[in-house]
Amino acid sequence: MQPNYEEYLNNHPVYQHIKELRGEDRFHEDVDSINILRLFFPATVKELVLGLSDITSTFYGLLLSETAKRYGNDGINAISRSAVFEIGRRKAEQALVIDPAIPRDACGICNVFISAIYVSSPEYKINVTTYQSDEVTLILTGTDRYHRSAQMLNLTEHITWPILTPFFYGVCSAWHISYQADLHVKELDEHSRCRYNIHITRK
């Protein structure tokens, strides 16, 4: 016997985690809702997270592509840096709500950066090698989805890589602290495989 929509959802492993978001969806009786779920609803948490990350990076690339069409390539890097700076600032503000005791130093900046990786860039792999209040070093490897999106749209030469540098200064701006972030590209190939060395120090 074919399960109904509610029964199918109740047995779906991913849906159980996000039922508060999707629980009020309703379909006309002519819609094959179970088939839509089977075809398009993420089958695993990994698939869900990577799908969201892909949409985010695609939006980034398309926004910059549209900017280039309207205003030329000169403004692409400035817009990219401004957007990433603002994301850093907002993530820092969110971090204070989640953890009011978060240290407002190099360790805290690192924590905010990691929080952003968790929710938006799952293909990055983090290796924190130094973790002190006045100095943090970490190595970021994996796949840079933003580079891949920009590469598909022939925009990479107009953007400073990695695009992440302004994020750290956005955090500093939100917290009114003075730290420096130095990011060095050790690897970034045609497949967007990357290795970035990040060094955060007190100014």
pLDDT, tens digit, 9 for 90 and up, residues 121-142: 889 999 999 999 999 999 999 9
pTM score, whole prediction? 0.84
pLDDT value for 35 = 84
- 37 compared with 170, residue with greater pLDDT: 170
- CA–CA dist 127, 142 (Å, integer): 11
Do both 159 and 119 map to the same domain? Answer: yes
Q: How high is the mean pLDDT of the chain?
A: 90
Burial 153-167 (b: 16+ CB within 10 A, else e): eebbebbebbbbbbb
160 belongs to a structural domain: yes
- CA–CA dist 196, 50 (Å, integer): 21
3 belongs to a structural domain: no
Confidence of residue 1 (pLDDT cuts 50, 70, 90): very low
- CA–CA dist 182, 60 (Å, integer): 23
Do both 186 and 92 map to the same domain? Answer: yes
pLDDT value for 39 = 83
Q: Which of 2-6, 38-42, 116-120, 130-134 has the lowest mean pLDDT?
A: 2-6
Strand partners, 184: 197
Quote the percentage of the chain above a pLDDT of 90.
62
Q: Which of 6-15, 39-48, 95-104, 187-196 has the lowest mean pLDDT?
A: 6-15
Number of domains in the chain: 2
The residue range of the domain holding 17 is 8-40
Do both 71 and 34 map to the same domain? Answer: no
Quote the percentage of the chain above a pLDDT of 70.
96
Do both 77 and 114 map to the same domain? Answer: yes
**N-term to C-term CA, the chain:** 67
Do both 84 and 133 map to the same domain? Answer: yes
- Whichever domain contains 79, its CATH number is 3.30.1380.20
Q: What is the mean pLDDT of residues 50-75?
A: 87
Q: Where are the beta strands (DSSP E) in the chain?
A: 124-132, 135-143, 179-188, 193-202
Do both 54 and 36 map to the same domain? Answer: no
Do both 56 and 102 map to the same domain? Answer: yes
Which of helix, strand or coil describes residue 4? coil
35 belongs to a structural domain: yes
Do both 151 and 83 map to the same domain? Answer: yes
Q: Which of 3-7, 19-23, 69-73, 116-120 has the lowest mean pLDDT?
A: 3-7
Give per-residue pLDDT as tens, 152-186. Answer: 999 999 999 999 999 999 999 999 999 999 999 99
**CB of 132 closer than 8 Å to CB of 49:** no
Do both 15 and 92 map to the same domain? Answer: no
Do both 18 and 77 map to the same domain? Answer: no
Confidence of residue 5 (pLDDT cuts 50, 70, 90): low
pLDDT of residue 2 exceeding 70? no
Do both 176 and 109 map to the same domain? Answer: yes
Give per-residue pLDDT as tens, 73-96. Answer: 888 999 999 999 999 999 999 999
